[in-house]
Copies of this chain bind each other. A is one copy, B any other.
Amino acid sequence: MDVYEAIYKRRDIRHFRSDAVPSEVLHRILDAAHHAGSVGFMQPWNFLVIRDPITKSKVHQIYAAANEEAEKQYTGEKRQQYRAMKLAGIMEADVNLVVTCDVSRELGGGLGRQTMPETAVYSTCCAIENLWLAARSEGIGVGWVSILHPDKVKQVLGIPEHLTLVAYLCIGYPVSFEKKPMLETLGWQDRVPLEDLVYYERWHNKELDVK
């Protein structure tokens, strides 16, 4: 699939079919992640593949509690709208994947990380986007679940304290790839026009040619 097509057709998936993700497909999308650039080539990521329904169920409980808590920040119609949305597919997705970042990893000898150490985590996010796009091209859906307390999830999975849990992803064949993001379709939030977000030469300057 063309890279632009994958970018425009990528969705955040919460509705999964039950078919298994073949191991060679899973390997290809993990390898795509592993081929993201990383600061100083430190490759700070790990991938933890979860298929055990008991483990999924423990994480789902963490999600359900956090979601109940999150709902309370909304009132009236907005709360109804929030409650009606499906925001995770932990139990249904064939694979749950945790992506971590080890900021203490010594690969790359610290190159590029003196002034911006946060780039280790940023590199890990680039790896996640690679995986997301590669998955899309394989017809596989990915849903990023952030309504979780990462420390609780780390505890369930035995992930050492010093690691950053960057993402908890649900991966599997989706019921469908919708034309638009769910939050746009449901009227939760529209897409901002790109031109509102671009400046030239200096912050807040909208003129293309300042010289």
Contacts and interface: CB of A to CB of B under 8 A. Distances in A.
Interface of A: 1-8, 10-12, 23, 27-28, 30-32, 34-37, 39-43, 45-52, 55, 66, 69-70, 73-74, 78, 82, 87, 107-116, 118-119, 121-122, 125-126, 128-130, 132-134, 136-137, 144, 146-150, 157-160, 166-167, 181, 183-184, 188-189, 191-192, 194, 197-204, 208, 210-211
A34 to B, nearest CB: 5
Contacts of A7: 32, 35-36, 130, 133-134
A203 to B, nearest CB: 4
Contacts of A3: 1-3, 5-6, 133-134, 136-137
Contacts of A114: 66, 69-70, 73, 147
Nearest to A112: B146
Q: Label chain A's interface by main secondary structure.
A: mixed
A116 B31 contact: no
A184 to B, nearest CB: 7
27 contacts: A2-B137, A3-B3, A3-B137, A4-B134, A10-B37, A30-B198, A37-B144, A41-B183, A41-B191, A42-B189, A43-B191, A48-B202, A49-B200, A51-B200, A70-B112, A87-B112, A107-B192, A108-B183, A115-B146, A115-B149, A116-B147, A122-B125, A122-B128, A125-B126, A126-B129, A129-B129, A130-B133
A188 B37 contact: no
Given A51-B201, A122-B167, A148-B115, A40 B189 contact: yes
A2 to B, nearest CB: 7
B6 A181 contact: no
Given A41-B188, A108-B189, A119 B146 contact: yes
A107 B193 CA distance: 13
Nearest to A97: B198
A40 B203 contact: no
Contacts of A36: 7, 129
Given A11-B37, A70-B111, 9 more contacts: A3-B134, A7-B130, A34-B197, A47-B197, A70-B112, A109-B188, A114-B147, A125-B126, A129-B129
